[in-house]
Amino acid sequence: MRLVRELAEYERALHEVKATEEQLRERLFGDDPKAFAHVVEHEGRVVGFAVWFLTFSTWNGTHGIYLEDLFVEPEYRGHGYGKTLLTELARIADERGYGRVEWAVLNWNEPAIGFYEALGARPQDEWAVYRLTGDALTRAARG
């Protein structure tokens, strides 16, 4: 939870964090997880994480991985931890025959964009992300 809050603060959205430690523990590590997490440690301390879940491409007929969050504490960046996390997700996708690993990045986050592009990732500029949440989600659900 500490790292989730640090990520939200970095993304200028700490006020949007509603999750609790109990929710994360159950959803990521409970009996029937729908999302998954990998962490990296430095001298026994968790300093980074990747949270992901499966997607499905009707065009490819295969699953993919959607990387919801990738975060490494600022003082531990440059140690290869972020690359290790993404490499592990790519390995899982390749091993399981998934067609892609994808994620969203804030358009102002130049360090992250440079990091992703150095790994070979390319932006999908022709797509816009839409979201239903809060009151709009409730209204849509009620028709």
Q: Which neighbouring-strand residues pair with 132?
A: none
In the chain, what's the furthest Cα-to-Cα distance? Answer: 52
Q: How confident is the model at residue 79 (pLDDT cuts 50, 70, 90)?
A: very high
Q: Residue ranges of the domains in the chain?
A: 2-141
Cα separation, 7 vs 55, whole angstroms: 23
pLDDT value, residue 9: 96
Active-site residue numbers? 116
CATH topology of domain 2-141: Aminopeptidase (3.40.630)
The pLDDT score that the predictor gives to residue 106 is 94
**Residue 40, beta-bridge partner list:** 48
The Cα–Cα gap between 63 and 52 comes to 13
Position 43 scores a pLDDT of 96
pLDDT band per the 50, 70, 90 thresholds, residue 139: very high
Which of 87, 88, 69 lies closest to 6, judged by CA?
69
83-113 pLDDT per residue, tens: 999 999 999 999 999 999 999 999 999 999 9
Label residue 15 by pLDDT band (50, 70, 90).
Answer: very high
How confident is the model at residue 132, as a pLDDT?
A: 94
| pTM for this entry | 0.91
